[in-house]
Structure 1
Amino acid sequence: MDISVIKIGGNVIDHPEKSTQFLKLFSKFPGQKILVHGGGVMASRIGLSLGIEPKMHLGRRITDKETLDLVTMVYAGLINKNLVAELYTYGQQAIGLTGADGNAIRSHKRPVKGGVDYGYVGDVDQVHTELLESLLQQSIAPVFSAITHDGKGQLLNTNADTIASEIATALAKKHKVNLYFCFDKTGVLMDASNEASLIPLINDDIYKELIRDQVIHSGMIPKLENAFKALNKGVNHVWLGLPESLLLASKGKNAGTIIESQKYGLY
């Protein structure tokens, strides 16, 4: 199968008009597809209203027990089910999942490293590809929230970019897989406040320079780390950009940022 794994960020989901526009586009996207969504913006907003202050380190959320309950409710409940319900209005069959459903994605609790304790945050160990293949063969699009489990009854908050990358990597062992990261920028930018400063292509060397010069920081770092990891493990193509540019990108048009691995060439 040709499979597209498409990740949508919380900044898009948090705006109903942008979210609706994306879901209409997703329903028209050709071929078999999987949607992975974030929701950190909404989780932080709802958390603040409940007196739960968000804590971040290098673009990743530190998750104590109270925060885990919050993100599970917001990601796996409120956001996930609303996305699935809306997809059906556009004729797209879909099923909402966490990593615990069908044992789809199993993780382990991230160990304390360098004095940083991320709490109930999961690092992915295994993706149950047979379940995903079965759904895709029925033209049902899995819609994943950023919650996994450890197989021992513990839910874990897991970076949505990582989930998208791990799903793509696991499926790439048997299928041709393209990975798309959609967020609220035209792509990776030299200047985050200037949409015209798009970097159309990033390879390993360019990435190192951008990190050194602090052009890339915060949440963009794990996003690009996951992109390179996916390419180096057999994913066919990785792209980052605006949701509305997704169809153009799927047709090879100039839009967004393409990630290139020098080790494996341009995919």
Structure 2
Amino acid sequence: MRKPKVSVFKIGGGIIDHAPDLQEFLRQFSQISGLKILVHGGGKGASQMLEKLGLTPQLVNGRRITDAATLDIVSMFYAGKTNKQIVAALQHIGINALGLSGADGNVIQAVKRPVRDIDYGFVGDLSEASINAPLIQGLLELGLTPVFCPINHDGQGQLLNTNADTIAASVAKALSTNYEVELHFCFEKNGVLRDVNDEQSVISKITPADYAELKRRGSIAAGMLPKLENAFDALNYGVEKVIIEHALHLSGPLKTELCRS
């Protein structure tokens, strides 16, 4: 018997910061048939608040360093304002959405990243055991659309911040046992570009060998690195398909598909 299909969409970048664009993405998302899940990043709101408080946002290879003060701000923005605005907007257009942090229902439990070359602070790393797949499956079976923010917890009362691409890939992997999973990374570009200044220079397909060469040449923007790392990890684990595409052109021809070989 064929597995049921579920589509996992991750939205981030400038789309979240521009209300009309976010509304248009959510409209298109609402028209995707079948079971679906949304994972969102935080946009620039948290960074802007940090700067107002005299704190300098720090990113390394597209990943945020999260000290205690930063954790307070991103938790308020990601798990609070951003998550609930998205859920409210989805309810308005007929999608019965449920906003979740990883602490809710113990749906995502992380481990604080150990200090190696860089101290990332209160950043959570995920493992195969981190995702409560039965709970997510139960929500889907109830007709709910889960909306995950990047905040999770360690099971000991400590909130942690995890890259939203990592969360999307981990959720997709966890569900791939019982579902045919498509993973979509949606942002303000048409896909992975050969030339960041040319929106038409989309690389339609990327293999692991292609990715290694693009990375070696420095042809990939820093924020794209974790996206591609998570995408290939998901494919290797059993996710059916991974697409990187423009958030406002979900049915458009320009997009990047990641291939196992």
TM superposition score category, shorter chain reference: over 0.9
Going by fraction, where is helix more abundant, 1 or 2? 1
Matched, 1:101 2:104: yes
What one-letter code is carried by the residue in structure 1 that aligns with 2:228? L
Q: Please tell me whether the aligned partners of residues 16 and 42 of structure 2 are also in contact (alpha carbons under 8 angstroms).
A: yes
Give 1:18 deviation, angstroms: 0.4
- Alignment map for 1:215-230 (pairs within 5 Å): 215-230=219-234
Q: Please tell me whether the aligned partners of residues 211 and 217 of structure 1 are also in contact (alpha carbons under 8 angstroms).
A: no
Matched, 1:116 2:118: yes
- Alignment map for 1:64-213 (pairs within 5 Å): 64-113=67-116, 115-125=117-127, 126-213=130-217
Match of 2:18 in 1: 15
TM-score under structure 1 length normalisation:
0.94
Identity rate, percent: 50
Give 1:138 deviation, angstroms: 1.6
1:117-145 superposed Cα distances (whole Å, 9 cap, x missing partner): 00000001310011111111122100000
Query: How has the CA–CA distance of structure 1 residues 131 and 247 changed in structure 2, closer, same or farther, with 3 Å as cutoff?
Result: farther
The SS at the match of 1:106 is coil
Give 1:217 deviation, angstroms: 3.2
Match of 1:33 in 2: 36
Give 1:50 deviation, angstroms: 2.2
Structure 2: runs of 5 or more not aligned = none
Q: Distance in 2 between matches of 1:150 and 1:5?
A: 24
Corresponding pairs, count: 256
Question: 16, 25, 47: which is aligned to 1:44?
Answer: 47
Give 1:211 deviation, angstroms: 0.5
Q: Distance in 1 between matches of 2:196 and 2:254?
A: 17
Q: What is the alpha-carbon root mean square deviation over aligned residues?
A: 1.0
Q: Please tell me whether the aligned partners of residues 239 and 257 of structure 1 are also in contact (alpha carbons under 8 angstroms).
A: yes
Query: How has the CA–CA distance of structure 1 residues 78 and 10 changed in structure 2, closer, same or farther, with 3 Å as cutoff?
Result: farther
Give 1:59 deviation, angstroms: 1.0
Q: Distance in 2 between matches of 1:66 and 1:208?
A: 36
Give 1:196 deviation, angstroms: 1.4
The SS at the match of 1:182 is strand
Match of 1:261 in 2: 260
Give 1:73 deviation, angstroms: 0.3
Q: Please tell me whether the aligned partners of residues 8 and 182 of structure 1 are also in contact (alpha carbons under 8 angstroms).
A: yes
Which contiguous aligned blocks of 4+ residues in structure 1 show a shift greater than 3 angstroms? none
Q: Please tell me whether the aligned partners of residues 16 and 43 of structure 2 are also in contact (alpha carbons under 8 angstroms).
A: no
The SS at the match of 2:251 is helix
Q: Distance in 1 between matches of 2:5 and 2:199?
A: 31
What one-letter code is carried by the residue in structure 2 that aligns with 1:211? K
Match of 1:24 in 2: 27
1:169-210 superposed Cα distances (whole Å, 9 cap, x missing partner): 000011110000000100000111210111111001111110
Q: Distance in 1 between matches of 2:95 and 2:232?
A: 30
Question: 6, 9, 15: which is aligned to 1:6?
Answer: 9
